[in-house]
């Protein structure tokens, strides 16, 4: 199974070839010290699951903070319009420009029944990265997948908490657009080459690592997955993490904040936990 699927689920962007940097296995982390008047918290999410499992301690911690910070501000009413404007390939390109007739037929078979209300003809000019996202729900054993990010977004709205983003949707879209369509198609074909059973097993294995809070196991598992997108590792993970540190620092000094982002961003030498520690903060594993 290729890494395209993992990109979209664990960090909303790609993670691969992480440098060794062992950290504690936890999804909830407390950030203190270095001039902070109040504690803030990090929580590693997964963007797609059959069930959102939130412990009472995490709920209590979330309730004690003043605002929610997600990777992007999912409460922004303009987000959907921006996404729709950027989901299609440029210059009139379609999947047929990057595949053989046999490969195109294979993709048509792969997508059969996976996206209700959308024929394969309607998909052919959508960026392959987003086609992978559309296919993902068929790899879960439930009809109505959920996301941890969406859970916290809903809770923040109910509690009338401020909601902010560590980056903009445009930032994420610009990173995706750095990957040539040829590479995106290659990864989509890797996904299509696998059986449904294999794709489902890969997804479940990933969920098992996540639910066990085994960050190192999750990283090792992801690093084993084949992907042409390994060429863009720094853009998709390291550079984003480093940019987030200044945002986290500024935001946490203003008010107690619950930062929820893909679990893959926590670990590694250039992971958020290690980078915050290097910046002088005390970052402690809670749960």
Is the model's pLDDT at 136 over the cut of 70?
Answer: yes
CA 44 to chain centre: 10
In the DSSP assignment, the letter for residue 265 is G
Residue showing tokens 């999410």? 45
- For residues 186 and 191, give the distance between their C-alpha atoms in angstroms, rounded to a whole number: 9
Is the model's pLDDT at 246 over the cut of 60?
Answer: yes
pLDDT score recorded for residue 20: 42
> Where in the chain are the domains?
4-285
Is the model's pLDDT at 14 over the cut of 90?
Answer: no
Q: What is the mean pLDDT of the chain?
A: 89
pLDDT tens for 68-88 read: 999 999 999 999 999 999 999
- For residues 152 and 158, give the distance between their C-alpha atoms in angstroms, rounded to a whole number: 10
Q: What is the pTM of this model?
A: 0.91
Task: Tell me the two tokens of residue 190.
Answer: 């890797």
Q: Beta strands of 151-223 (E only): which ranges?
A: 162-165
Confidence of residue 15 (pLDDT cuts 50, 70, 90): very low
């Amino acid at each position: 199974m290729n890494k395209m699927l993992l990109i979209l689920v664990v960090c909303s962007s790609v993670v691969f070839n992480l440098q060794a940097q062992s950290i504690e296995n936890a999804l909830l982390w407390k950030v203190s010290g270095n001039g902070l008047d109040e504690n803030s918290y990090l929580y590693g999410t997964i963007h797609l699951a059959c069930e959102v499992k939130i412990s009472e301690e995490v709920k209590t911690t979330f309730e004690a903070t003043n605002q929610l910070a997600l990777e992007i501000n999912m409460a922004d009413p303009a987000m959907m319009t921006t996404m729709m404007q950027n989901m299609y390939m440029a210059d009139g390109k379609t999947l047929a420009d990057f595949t053989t007739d046999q490969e195109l037929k294979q993709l048509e078979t792969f997508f059969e029944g996976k996206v209700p209300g959308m024929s394969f003809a309607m998909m052919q000019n959508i960026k392959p990265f987003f086609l992978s996202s559309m296919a993902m729900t068929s790899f879960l054993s439930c009809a109505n997948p959920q996301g941890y990010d969406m859970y916290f977004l809903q809770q923040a709205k109910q509690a009338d908490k401020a909601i902010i983003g560590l980056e903009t949707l445009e930032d994420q879209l610009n990173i995706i657009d750095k990957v040539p369509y040829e590479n995106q198609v290659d990864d989509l074909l890797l996904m299509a080459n696998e059986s449904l059973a294999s794709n489902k097993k890969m997804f479940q294995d990933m969920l098992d690592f996540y639910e066990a809070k085994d960050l190192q196991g999750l990283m090792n598992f992801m690093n084993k997955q084949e992907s042409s997108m390994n060429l863009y590792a720094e853009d998709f993970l390291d550079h984003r993490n480093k940019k987030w540190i200044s945002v986290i620092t500024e935001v946490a000094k203003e008010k107690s904040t619950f930062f929820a982002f893909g679990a893959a961003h926590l670990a590694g030498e250039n992971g958020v936990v290690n980078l915050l520690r290097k910046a002088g903060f005390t970052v402690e594993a809670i749960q």
